[in-house]
Amino acid sequence: MSPPWRFSGDHLRLAVRLTPNGGRDAIDGIEEDGDGETLLKARVTSVPEKGKANKALILLIARSLRIPKSSISLVSGETARKKILRIEGDPEDLVKKLEALLG
């Protein structure tokens, strides 16, 4: 299974499947969708209204990777469960943090 991230110059692109109203804020591992694409599974307690769940996702990822939330932006999937995040920083360092987070 390939990882849910892609190196892209000076940043990392991360594919995420978000579950809003998930009961808790957590990263639940990696899954493969029906198209064979690998996604990071995440859940947040926020509701999917007015971007609240997206903001909660960015905060969850930032806290998990110990980076500023300002270095994470939503590239696509504003109203969809599948999202692409752009994470600014050294891609190799970010991958090490993601791998440590996922075990």
User: Which tens digits make up the pLDDT trace of 2-14?
Assistant: 899 999 888 999 9
Residue 59 near residue 69, CB atoms below 8 Å = yes
Residue 65 near residue 98, CB atoms below 8 Å = yes
Burial of 71 (0-12, 13-18, 19+ CB in 10 A): middle
CB-CB neighbours of 9 under 10 Å: 6
Kind and range of the H or E run holding 94: helix 91-102
With left for phi above 0 and alpha for psi between -120 and 50, is residue 94 left, alpha or beta?
alpha
| Per-residue pLDDT reduced to its tens digit, 46-103 | 999 999 999 999 999 999 999 999 999 999 999 999 999 999 999 999 999 999 999 8
| b/e code 16-51 from CB counts within 10 Å (16+ = b) | bbbbbebeebebeebeeeeeeeebbbbbbebebeee
pTM score, whole prediction: 0.94
- Predicted pLDDT at 103: 84
